[in-house]
Homo-oligomer: A and B are copies of this chain.
Amino acid sequence: MTSRDQVSVTLAQVAKAAGVGESTVSRVLRNHGSYSGKTRERVMTAVERLGYVPNRIAGTLASAGSRLVAFVIPSLSNIVFADVLRGASATLENNQYQAVFAVTDYDPAREEALVASMLAWRPAAVILAGYEHTERTIKMLRASNCRAVELLDVDGTALDLAVGFSNRAAGRQSAEFLLKRGYRRIGYVGHDIDRDTRAGKRYSSFCDTLSANGTPLADQEIYREASSVERGRLGLDRLLARTPDLDAVYFSNDDMALGGYFHCLARGIVIPSQLAIFGYNGLDLGRVMPQALSTIRTPRVAAGELAAKLIMDNASPQVVDLGFELIEGATA
């Protein structure tokens, strides 16, 4: 009885050990259909004695739908997606669903490949970020008979379900807020604007709003890489070196903004009188900074939860705008 390479216990073995039929064991274990108390006891004893663990692979194949939910997310470094997963996974686990995931690195081609390989597991649903997918991705998703949830965006046309908030509105309101506070020489420090299309939407809508006000974006510093505190600090440094007279800077997210904040602290730049800072996401740490970060708080965990709930409830196709909250903070 070596532990490696032993074949695992099967339902049939349990049935034999308990002296009942296979279907009976199945019924008892799934608590589905009827069986007597003593039968239940006999089965459970056998299960315990043999250390039986049901094989869900076989179970899924035999019954119709799988209890897998596939997440195809851009990044794990970005806390945003960890939040979404966290929100969703609790609900999923409570309903005996399993989360499967893969990381695209913001690459649509990779997303396509990963969706294909996820679909091979016949998941109950695929959860993606945003609306921008390759044609083939969309085609595959439509052809499959599984649900699709697009998260964190509502500016576009949904495939099936969508849960998020308007990045365009966020960009606009950020600009309006800064304008209302009297800032006019406004810069931008951002990341990965082509690939992170949600950040791109905020950016363009931010710029449009500024332009409409007659005070277009004064300068910008955009990086190809993923967002990070480090890039934020470096970006603000470069931006100010080039355009020292800015009075406010909009960052692509809170991580970047924190980097900018650190830069100001290090250089003795007084916030917000000398320079205002505005972020996006509303991470918890923003509230704890010596000066609370002015930002937009997005309901990421709630988005994950709702996505999971809609799937569990087999909801009809819809787009849910969860909105967001502008945090006035002390940095702008």
**Chain A residues within CB distance 8 Å of chain B:** 3-8, 51, 53-58, 60-61, 66, 68, 76-77, 79, 82-83, 85-86, 89-90, 93, 96, 98-103, 114, 116-122, 139-140, 142-145, 228-230, 233, 255, 258-259, 262, 265-266, 284-285, 287-290
CB contacts (< 8 Å) of A119 on chain B: these are 53
Inter-chain CA distance A229–B90, complex, in Å, is 23
Residue of B nearest to A258 (CB): B285
Inter-chain CA distance A255–B285, complex, in Å, is 9
Distance between A135 CB and nearest chain B CB, rounded to angstroms = 13
Inter-chain CA distance A66–B262, complex, in Å, is 47
Inter-chain CA distance A144–B9, complex, in Å, is 10
CB contacts (< 8 Å) of A100 on chain B: these are 68, 98-101
Residue from the list B58, B86, B121, B122 in contact with A8, Cβ < 8 A: B122
CB contacts (< 8 Å) of A6 on chain B: these are 145
CB contacts (< 8 Å) of A265 on chain B: these are 265, 290
CB contacts (< 8 Å) of A51 on chain B: these are 139-140, 143
Residue of B nearest to A4 (CB): B145
Inter-chain CA distance A148–B90, complex, in Å, is 24
CB contacts (< 8 Å) of A258 on chain B: these are 285
Beta-carbon contact of A117 and B96 below 8 Å: yes
CB contacts (< 8 Å) of A76 on chain B: these are 82-83, 85-86, 89
Q: Knowing A77-B86, A98-B117, A116-B53, say if A262 contacts B287 (CB, 8 Å).
A: no
Inter-chain CA distance A100–B266, complex, in Å, is 42
